[in-house]
Amino acid sequence: MKNRLKVLRAERDWSQQELAARLEVSRQSVNAIETGRYDPSLPLAFRIADIFELAIEEIFLREE
Amino acid sequence: MAVCWTPAAKRYTRRLAVLMAIYLVTLFTAVWLFRHDQVSAPLAWPLAIAPAIPVIGVFWAVMRFIVEEKDEFIRLLIVRQCLVATGFCLTIMTVWEFLQNFELVPPGNGGFGAAFFWFMGLGVGAIYNKLTMGTAGTWS
């Protein structure tokens, strides 16, 4: 699944480590999600959406 | 890059260190007693099994690691590592068994049993994770 995590993070000037701390996950998790190697579970996707104050579909995009 | 250990990974490492210490003590004790004919018949079985108990403990520690790890991505990496280890171990043991059945290799395993190859397989699994997922686990 594609996502806008890297862009959203850059807009807020957050490092991967900073976002990971806010999400209470490892930096490796953030990196794996950003690079599309790993699709988060629905609860984690909701946590990401809450932190960015956006809807899930504004962060994660359907693959065409 | 900073090393980042999750609480579950720290617990796993501590358990592993304790179990490995127990393993070394029981193994060297059993080997020494058997070599010096210090073992009476009723004690032989429990003493021979004693080094296996901490090894079984390591299987338990790995399973607890999977259960206790809160980070879902790290948990996925551990599960993948265990699956690769299981496949690796079963492959080696199956091939070896057939080679022994056709008497192409001598019987016995020289002390390298299924557990040894499963632990080796964990290493192979970590390499597989690094190559396919970009990280081997809780650090790197």
The total of other beta-carbon atoms located within 10 Å of residue B137's CB is 21
The chain B residues in contact with chain A (CB within 8 A) are 2, 4, 6, 70-74, 76, 132-135, 138, 140
Q: How far apart are CA B116 and CA A6, in angstroms?
A: 42
In this prediction, residue B6 has a pLDDT band, given cuts at 50, 70 and 90, of confident
Whether A31 sits inside 8 A of B70 (CB atoms) is no
Contacts made by residues B68-72, CB under 8 angstroms, sequence distance 24+: B68/B7, B68/B8, B68/B11, B68/B12, B69/B6, B69/B8, B69/B9, B70/A24, B70/B6, B70/B7, B70/B8, B71/A25, B71/A26, B71/A29, B71/B6, B72/A25, B72/A29, B72/A40, B72/A41, B72/A44
Indicate if the pLDDT at residue B74 is higher than 80. yes
Indicate if the pLDDT at residue B49 is higher than 70. yes
Q: What is the mean pLDDT of residues A16-21?
A: 95
In this prediction, residue B139 has a pLDDT band, given cuts at 50, 70 and 90, of very low
Q: What is the percentage of chain B residues whose pLDDT exceeds 90?
A: 78
